[in-house]
Amino acid sequence: MLKLTNMTVKFGTFEALKNINFEVNEGELVVLLGANGAGKSTIFNTISGLNKLSTGDIQFNNKSMRGQSPNKIVKAGIVQCAEGRKLFPDMSVQENLMMGGFVHRRNKAQLKQSLHEVYELFPILMDKKANAARSLSGGQQQMLAIGRALMAKPKLLMLDEPSIGLAPLIVEQMFSVIQAINKNGTTVLLAEQNANAALKIANRGYVIENGIVVIQGKSDELFNNDAIRKAYIGA
């Protein structure tokens, strides 16, 4: 489905990503683990067409995405839910969701169906659909950000640090929802620092340090790796 080959990204003389190689197969839930500044968001933004590749290629369903505009990448089925939620604070919950479906705006029936599916997944958003996004709690805002991404009907959903700033109980609920989204047929690429929660729901993972993939493996292998436990799980 998604394959990154020798992906390098430079900002001026600074090499932010160095020969990144990894893939995500259809139906998988794959996690990118790494500390702040490791390069997770840069990978996501490059896949989304927001950063320019210096070398290498990004393939999605056997087609190169290199040089494609962000809106064409969304239309192809790659949708990012950015770190920090990036909501429209003064717009209502429903208006925010409809903005997520903008690329499908001509298909009114699909938009209506997508909205119904998001409200089924997050009933609290239905209750608050007329409220301004800024009035929601942190957990509700994260639900709205994920819901807005789902409105674009992703084949591959990229979630960047969805647990950041949330209480432990809300984090647990959020990861249950992410797992449900994956089981309903959406492939998920998850960037996280919360290795404990992420590895419990992921099939496989990659560890990023200083713009380099340093370790990869199945979730249970990574979970039982002493170096990863010390660095990311605190055990």
Beta-ladder partners of 55: 8
Average pLDDT of the chain, as a whole number:
91
pLDDT over 80 at 84, yes or no: no
Assess whether pLDDT exceeds 70 at residue 235. Answer: no
> In 10 A of CB 109, how many CB atoms?
8
Q: What is the arithmetic mean of pLDDT over 169-193?
A: 93
The Cα 76–Cα 82 span in angstroms is 18
Q: What is the mean pLDDT of residues 50-73?
A: 95
In the chain, where are the structural domains located?
A: 87-152
pLDDT at 16: 96
Average pLDDT over residues 46-54: 95
| Pairing outcome for strands 187-192 and 156-160 | parallel
Per-residue pLDDT band for 167 (boundaries 50, 70, 90) equals confident
pTM score, whole prediction: 0.91
Q: What is the pLDDT of residue 218?
A: 96
- CA pair distance 50, 73, nearest whole angstrom: 10
Q: How far apart are CA 219 and CA 40, in angstroms?
A: 18
Range with top average pLDDT, 9-23, 88-102, 156-170:
9-23
Mean pLDDT of 28-50: 94
- Residues in a beta bridge with 7: 20
* DSSP codes of every residue in 41-106: HHHHHHHTTSS--SEEEEEETTEE-TT--HHHHHHHTEEEE-TT----TTSBHHHHHHHHTGGGTT
Check whether 106 has a pLDDT greater than 80. no
- Strand 187-192 and strand 55-60: pairing? unpaired
* pLDDT above 60 (res 229): yes
* pLDDT beyond 60 at 51: yes
Distances from the Cα of 29 to the Cαs of 17, 71, 134, 136, 204, in angstroms?
Answer: 22, 24, 30, 28, 7
**What average pLDDT does this structure show over 16-27?**
97
pLDDT score for 104: 66
Residue of higher predicted confidence among 29 and 229 = 29
